[in-house]
Amino acid sequence: MINVAIDGPSGAGKSSISREAARRLGFIYVDTGAMYRAAAVFVMQRRIDPDDAERIGSILPMLDIELRYENGEQKVYLCGENVSRVIRTREVTRCAPIVSAHPKLRQCLSDMQQEMAQKNNIIMDGRDIGTVVLPNADVKIFLTASPEVRAQRRYKEMCEKGMDVTYEEVLSDIRERDYYDENKPISPLRPAKDSILIDTSELDFEHSVQLVVDTVKGHVGL
């Protein structure tokens, strides 16, 4: 099986670029961020304190996350329930980093991710895919863009949705998230030693996707 790991900071366009690159290559796209978000919903539904490592550890055997493909779109199911929309809410976005700091939960999701990678040609995106989950991936890409460019893109998206924010607020959130991701004690965000750096600051979506597709093809001889 061909395994492609794509890591990088939030807002670099990882998910949309990975999804489209996977479609063009005919690979399955695995969004590990969506799995951590579903795990956050699992904890929230049971009204468990997201900092309570012990209780979270005790319910892990019941955690059942499935990524299904319906009309070419990835849907996330938690214990049989479609949570694709709820995982994108602000509450879940706030809870996911807390829940994802627990080593036992990370191990549980990492096992699920490794199983998917054994069975399929995949592009898997996240924060620790090339470093921890798939250290032997055929291709490792670290996809990034400057904080200013990421903030600008995110700001534009939020304005289009009618949200009331300033560019400065969005930039400050991005810097805060970067600091947290790069300094967390477990699985901090950093490029794997053998990863290929792709900086999309100066690239539009189409060029970014094409560069990822060409990089994968060049490495695995497709």
**Nearest C-alpha neighbor of 143 from the set 35, 3, 10:** 10
Q: For residues 36 and 155, which CB has a smaller minimum distance to ligand DC in the complex?
A: 36
195 interacts with ligand DC by CB under 6 A: no
Bridge partners of residue 218, in order along the sequence: none
Residue span 92-111 as binding mask against ligand DC, x where in contact by CB under 6 A, dash where not: ----xx--x-----------
Q: Is 65 exposed, middle or buried (0-12, 13-18, 19+ CB in 10 A)?
A: buried
Q: Extract the tokens encoding 120.
A: 């399929």
127 interacts with ligand DC by CB under 6 A: yes
191 interacts with ligand DC by CB under 6 A: no
Q: For residues 20 and 128, which CB has a smaller minimum distance to ligand DC in the complex?
A: 128
| Residue 104 neighbours by CB distance under 10 Å | 12
C-alpha–C-alpha distance, residues 168 and 164, integer Å: 12
# chain residues binding ligand DC, by CB under 6 A: 11
Stretch that binds ligand DC, among 16-24, 124-132, 149-157, 165-173 (CB under 6 A): 124-132
20 interacts with ligand DC by CB under 6 A: no
Give just the sign of the alpha carbon dihedral 53, 76, 81, 66: negative
Could you say which of 20, 22, 25, 37 contacts ligand DC (CB under 6 A)?
Answer: 37
List of residues contacting ligand DC (CB under 6 A): 10, 32-33, 36-37, 96-97, 100, 126-128
